[in-house]
Structure 1
Amino acid sequence: MRQKAISYILLAIIFCNGFKAISQQLANKDQPLSEINKWFNAWEMVWKKCYKLKKIKPVDFVLFDETFVYTNSNITGEGGDKVAGPNLLNEKIKWIKKPYNDSIVQPNGQKRKVEIMSFASQNTKGNPFFVMPLPSYWKKNGVSDHGIGIEILVTCVFLHEFGHTQQMQSLDSIDVVIEKYSKAHPAENISDDILQDNYEADSAYTYSYSMETKLFNKAAFSTNEAEMKKWAKDGIALLKSRQTKCLITDNRDIVIIDNFF
C-alpha cells in the first residue's frame, strides 16, 4: 500500500513539472541506454523536491536488456566495451556494455541469475549499487503495467529503488530509522508494514489516504497542466494534514517512518 502511494506521489510531481528535454548530446550513444534518460530526468525532479540532497552520491549501475548488461562497475563490466551514455546530474558515468548468458556478476562479486528484479545493495566497500532491467526486458517478459503504461511503471520502480542508494549514504538507512523508533517505542512490533498495522482501522487515516490517492491519480493522468498542478498540490496538502492529525497528535513519532517510506 505504501509503495503504491509513493509511486503516485512521484508520478504527480513528474507530470506537474514535465520531463526535462534531453540536454546531453552524446555521439554514438547506445540506443538501449537512451531509454533511461526519462529515469534520470525524473530523478532530478524528485531529488530536488523530495530528497533535497546537495549532490548525487556515486552508484554502480547494473542495467540489462535481453542480451547485454550496461554498467559502470569494472567488476560487472570486466572485458566489456566502453559506450557512450547519459550522466546523472553531477555524476559522470563511464558506461560499459557486455554480453551475458543467463547471469551477471554484481559489483559485490556475487553472481546472480538474470530475471525481473529491481533492488539496491552495497558492495564489499559499503558503496551502493543498483540492479534493474531496461524497459525492453520488462516488455518482453510480459510484466503488467497496471494500466499506467510500462514506461511510467518502470520509471516509478526506478525512483523508488534508486532512492535507497542515496538513503544509504545521504539519509538514515531503514535500519537506523527503525532503531530510533524502536528505542522510543520498545513495546511495538516494528516492520515496514507498521503504518498499515497501526492505522488500517483508523477511519480518518484511511479516508485521507484514499482521497490522497485519488488526487494523485487525477494529477497523473490529466492532460490539463493547471489541473495537474492543482490536484498534485491538493494531494500533498492532504498528505501533510494526515501526518499532522493521525501520526503526530497521537503522541507517537511514527511520522519519521511515514516520511522514510
Structure 2
Amino acid sequence: MILAAAAAAALASACAPGPADKAWIHAATAAWRLQLRRLPELTPPADVTVILFDARCRLESRQALQRNTAARWTASRHDGQVLLADGTRIPATVTSFAGEGKQGGPTFVMALPSLWAAGKIPGGSLGLDRLTRAVLLHEASHVAQTALFERLSKLPKEEGLPEDFSDDSIQQQFEENVAFSASVEEETRLLFAAAAASDDKAARALAGQALAKMKARRARWFVGEDRRLGKAEDLFLSMEGAGQYVGYSWLIDPKGGALSTAEAMSGFGTRSKWWSQKQGLALILAVERLELAGWREQVWKTPHLIGVELLEAAVARSRNAS
C-alpha cells in the first residue's frame, strides 16, 4: 500500500501539459498582464483560483491572474472529471468560464488548446492559439466584475426570473421572432458603425439611431411579464461587451495580437453567434468612441450605468460637448 501510494504521488507530480500547451500558458498569462497594465480599472480579486486542464492533467494557481505576482502552478492527474474549487467536478471537455464563487471563492476555468484542437474547434482566421488567448482574456476579465455579478445574482429574486437565466436567455426566447431579431441586428450594425466613424457628428448620430431602435424594441416586446427583461439585457450587455472588449483590444494592440481592426473584428469581434457578446462589444466600442468619461469604471468597478443607460449617457455627453 505504501509503495502504491508513493507511485501514485510520483505520477501526479510528474503530470504536466505538453510543450505547446505550456507555451500557450506563458503567452496567455503575458497577454493578461498586458491588459492589466493597459486597463487599470480591470482589477481582479486577490483570491481567484485559476484551473486549466488538458486530457489528463489539471493545473491550479492562485497567482495567475494577479497583477504583479509570478504564477505558481500545482499539477495533478484527473480521471476525465476535473475538480473545481467548490468541490464539484466537470467533464474534461472544451470549456471556458468564470464564476463569482460562493464556496471556494472566485474561479476561472479553461480547457487548454490541445483539448480545443482535439474537439475540432476551428480557430478561424485567427488560428486556435490566438483565438483561445482572446477567449481567456474575455472570460478571465469577468472575475473583475464583482459588482455586476452581485447584481446578476439578485435578478431571479428581484425580477422573478428563473435561477438558470443566462446571457443567452433573451436570444433563446426571441431569436425566432423575425422583427425582434432584425432590430437587434440593425442596432448592432449601427453601433459598430458609430464606433468606426471618423467624424464625431456621424458617430453621435449613428449611436443615437441605435439607441432609439433599442428603446423602441424594448417598448414593443418587453411588456407584461417580459418588462423585467430590460434590466437583465442591460446587465449582460455590459458584462459580455466588456469581456469582448478585453479580448478584442488585445488583438489590435501592437504589443498583443498585432492585428488590424478588420482582422480582429472578423476573427473575434463578430465571430460569436450570441447577441449579448456581439451587441455588447458594439455598444462598448460606441461608448468608447463617444469618449464617455469613466465608462471603464462603470463596467469593472461601480456599474451605476449599464447597457442602454451607458449608451444614453455617452450620446448625451457627445451632444452637450458639440
With the shorter chain as reference, the TM-score category is 0.5 to 0.7
Moved more, 203-212 or 157-166: 203-212
Amino acid aligned to 2:211:
T
Match of 1:245 in 2: 212
Contact 1:59 1:128 in 2 (8 A): yes
Runs of at least 5 residues in structure 1 that lack an aligned partner in the other structure: 1-29, 74-84, 216-228
Contact 1:248 1:255 in 2 (8 A): no
Alignment pair present for 1:67 and 2:64? no
Deviation at 1:144, TM superposition (A): 2.1
Contact 1:108 1:122 in 2 (8 A): no
Match of 2:129 in 1: 151
Cα 1:248–1:126 change in 2 (3 A) is: farther
Match of 1:11 in 2: none
1:201 match: secondary structure: helix
Amino acid aligned to 1:106:
L
1:161 match: secondary structure: helix
Alignment pair present for 1:102 and 2:80? yes
Runs of at least 5 residues in structure 2 that lack an aligned partner in the other structure: 1-17, 220-229, 241-322
Cα 1:238–1:118 change in 2 (3 A) is: farther
Contact 2:52 2:112 in 1 (8 A): yes
2:42 match: secondary structure: coil
Match of 2:299 in 1: none
Aligned equivalents of 1:116, 1:205: Cα separation in 2: 29
Alignment pair present for 1:171 and 2:148? yes
Q: Which has the higher contact order (CA 8 A, sep 6+)?
A: 1
Deviation at 1:106, TM superposition (A): 1.8
Deviation at 1:70, TM superposition (A): 1.3
Alignment pair present for 1:197 and 2:164? no
Deviation at 1:39, TM superposition (A): 2.9
Aligned residue-pair number: 200
**1:144-177 Cα deviation digits (max 9, x unpaired):** 224432123322332333233333x343442336
**1:29-58 Cα deviation digits (max 9, x unpaired):** x95343134433444565577792345442
Cα 1:232–1:208 change in 2 (3 A) is: farther
Identity among equivalent positions (%) equals: 20
Aligned equivalents of 1:141, 1:98: Cα separation in 2: 22
Match of 1:209 in 2: 188
Cα 1:102–1:126 change in 2 (3 A) is: closer
2:76 match: secondary structure: strand
**1:55-107 Cα deviation digits (max 9, x unpaired):** 5442111111233221126xxxxxxxxxxx96642455321122333223222
Q: TM-score if structure 1 supplies the norm length? A: 0.55
Equivalent residue in structure 2 for 1:58, among 37, 42, 47: 47
Cα 1:88–1:36 change in 2 (3 A) is: farther
Aligned equivalents of 1:47, 1:197: Cα separation in 2: 36
Match of 1:35 in 2: 24
Q: TM-score if structure 2 supplies the norm length? A: 0.47
Aligned equivalents of 2:59, 2:205: Cα separation in 1: 41
Cα 1:231–1:136 change in 2 (3 A) is: farther
**1:100-124 Cα deviation digits (max 9, x unpaired):** 3322322212233312222233655
Cα 1:55–1:95 change in 2 (3 A) is: same
Aligned equivalents of 2:103, 2:71: Cα separation in 1: 19
Contact 1:144 1:150 in 2 (8 A): yes
Larger helix share, 1 or 2 = 2
Amino acid aligned to 2:154:
V
